[in-house]
Amino acid sequence: MASSPIDITTHMVPGYRDAMLAVHEMGEGRPLLLLHGLFSNAHVNWIKFGHAATIAAHGYRVIMPDFRVHGQSAAPHDPSDYPQDVLAQDVHALIAHFELIDFDLGGFSLGARTSALLLAKGLRPARVILAGMGLEGLSGWAKRRDFFLSVIADRDTIKHGDPRWLSVQFMKTMKVDPIAAVLLLNSFGDVDPDTLRSVDVPTLVLCGSEDKDNGSPEALVDLLPNARLAEVPGTHMSSVTEKALGETMAAFLTA
């Protein structure tokens, strides 16, 4: 199904403080809001490797925003455009714009973390997919923030062999605006795992078999009252290239 051609439409939608967000849509039917990972975009995580097409072919309208500072979305330099948890405020703006009431939600890495934050703040989609996420990835953000801040600060001097080299190459490939990226990184807060213990939404925790970048997916499943675990081949970076990712997501959504 992933190889079937399905048209993609892209339009600009105002987020928090009217920052314009690029939103890509594919398919018709039940709405699924999909959120991508840090310094990636909707095309790389969901469209390029066929995941959105696979899900759309199962009767879904797949709605895929580029987060602010990512993809085709705005990357403002005004610090007032980056209050704490601004990405969650952007998602709420998109939900209001598209008048989504009965819908499903999914995310990879930062998108999964943002989805968990939205659940903690009371959002109740019908189903949730947390991909590339473990329990420890919800909190302790300061360490990961400082890593990426150092990548940005030293981006012109980092050499091959430095553990930050792959990250800086990815950011350069994705043409990430460093000024806006610093503002965005400093807007992220921790997600208190205890706020999720009573969230009884059917949840799929989906990770690469070699992916522990965000901690233990098993511990995250144990925390959530209505969650199950699934694996696809790969690491944190390579799992999004696997056809099985979209197939596993579609199977969960349509079960």
The pLDDT value recorded for residue 22 is: 98
pLDDT in tens, 167-224: 999 999 999 999 999 999 999 989 999 999 999 999 999 999 999 999 999 999 999 9
> What domains can you pick out in the chain, each with its CATH number?
8-138+192-254 (3.40.50.1820)
Residue 4 confidence class, pLDDT cut points 50, 70, 90:
very low
Decide: 42 and 66 in contact? Cβ < 8 Å: yes
Q: Give yes or no for residue 2 having a pLDDT over 50.
A: no
Q: What is the mean pLDDT of residues 4-8?
A: 73
Q: What is the pLDDT of residue 177?
A: 97
- What's the average model confidence in pLDDT over 126-141? 95
Beta bridge partners of 77: none
Buried residues in 208-245 as b, exposed as e (16+ CB within 10 A): beebebbbbbeebbebbeebeebbbebebbebbbbebb
Per-residue CA distances from 15 to 9, 78, 92, 171 (Å): 18, 15, 8, 23
The count of other CB atoms within 10 Å of the CB of residue 195 is 15
| 230-251 pLDDT tens trace | 999 999 999 999 999 999 999 9
Q: Structure pTM? A: 0.95
Query: What DSSP assignment string belongs to 134-167?
Result: -GGGGS-HHHHHHHHHHHHHTTTT--BTBTTHHH
Q: What is the pLDDT of residues 37-91, one digit of tens each?
A: 999 999 999 999 999 999 999 999 999 999 999 999 999 999 999 999 999 999 9
The 3-state secondary structure of 79-123, one letter per residue: HHHCCCCHHHHHHHHHHHHCCCCCCEEEEECHHHHHHHHHHHCCC
CB 19 within 8 A of CB 27: no
pLDDT of residue 73: 98
Cα–Cα distances (Å) from 225 to 124, 127, 163, 202, in that order, read 14, 13, 36, 8
Q: What's the pLDDT score for residue 1?
A: 36
Q: What is the pLDDT of residue 5?
A: 59
Mean pLDDT of 143-171: 95
Per-residue pLDDT, 142: 86
